[in-house]
Amino acid sequence: MNARQFLLNLVVVVVLLAIGGGVAYQVYEANNYVSTDNAQVSVPQVSVDALGAGTVTAVDVGVGQKVNAGSPLVVAQNAAAASRAAAPAARRAGAAKGASAAPAPSAQTPAAPATATITAPVAGVVTAVDVTPGQTVVPGQTLVVVSEPQNAMVVANVPETSIRNVEDGQAVDVTLDAYPGTVFTGHVAAIQPATQASLSLFPASALSGSFTKVTQLVPVWIRFDPQGYTLYNGLSAEVRIHTGSGAL
């Protein structure tokens, strides 16, 4: 065998080994892991709403500010209290003009506080401030939104063809595009019992003659250790679920 034939055989062997190694790796990955880059960080958002009508007199926080549970967020004047405060002046003005005075409020009716301080229901970071001093608010209107990064999770959308291999408690490796090179450890906390499409505002419906089958995605909730990194709602993530390693 000449040198040329030897080199040709060597190249063939190397190529076959590379192909075999690649196939073996893919089989190993498929049997032991479920991976997807269709995943995002989900940080709980707590909406702090007005309980009654009134006027905002002070806003004590700004976007990005850390707050504790019970920290003051907004001070508002109660609309009913403001009306009662204006009533004596109106009665005095009416009496001066000879008009009949309006009846005074009943002594048995408890007076609402003139001002109310709205506090943070949870510890976290202010995500949004939707009011300004002097603004009139109505019951149910959002004043401030507080996020809880300490309770952040990753939501991974796993194809329906792989979800049968995923179980609660399985170990997960998480990487975030915001922090390349860092691997966060976590575990499967919950598997949502519904596909992503079925939970959308306008679920797709199959009309006669127009159906195209697509692979459905099942949301999997993953709890992980942030290792002190700052987490933002909606950050892109990639996950690798250890389906062959058993539950934690």
Do 77 and 157 lie in one domain? The reply is no
Do 177 and 188 lie in one domain? The reply is yes
Question: Is residue 74 situated within a structural domain?
Answer: yes
Residue 159 belongs to domain with CATH number: 2.40.30.170
Do 39 and 82 lie in one domain? The reply is no
Strand order in the sheet with 45-49: 45-49, 142-147, 124-129, 66-67
Question: Is residue 105 situated within a structural domain?
Answer: no
Domain of residue 170, residue span = 33-43+150-242
Q: Please, are residues 149 and 176 in contact by the beta-carbon 8 Å criterion? A: no
Provide the 3-class DSSP secondary structure of residue 75.
strand
Question: Is residue 6 situated within a structural domain?
Answer: no
Residue 126 belongs to domain with CATH number: 2.40.50.100
Among 117, 118, 141, 143, residue whose Cα is nearest residue 130: 143
Do 159 and 233 lie in one domain? The reply is yes
Q: How confident is the model over 47-98, as pLDDT tens digits?
A: 999 988 999 999 999 999 999 999 999 999 986 554 444 445 545 555 555 5
Do 124 and 210 lie in one domain? The reply is no
Question: Is residue 208 situated within a structural domain?
Answer: yes
Six-digit token pair at 129? 């401030």
Do 57 and 140 lie in one domain? The reply is yes
Six-digit token pair at 137? 């608010």
Q: What is the pTM of this model?
A: 0.71
Q: What is the model's pLDDT at position 81?
A: 52
Question: Is residue 135 situated within a structural domain?
Answer: yes
Do 198 and 162 lie in one domain? The reply is yes
Q: Per-residue confidence of the chain (248 residues) as pLDDT tens digits?
A: 677 776 776 677 777 777 776 666 555 555 678 999 999 999 999 999 998 899 999 999 999 999 999 999 999 998 655 444 444 554 555 555 554 544 555 545 555 568 889 999 999 999 999 999 999 999 999 999 999 999 999 999 999 999 999 999 999 999 999 999 999 999 999 999 999 888 877 766 656 567 778 899 999 999 999 999 999 999 999 999 999 844 44
Residues contacting residue 122 through CB under 8 Å, at least 6 positions apart = 46, 69, 146, 148
Do 77 and 135 lie in one domain? The reply is yes
Q: How many independent structural domains does the chain possess?
A: 2
Provide the 3-class DSSP secondary structure of residue 90.
helix
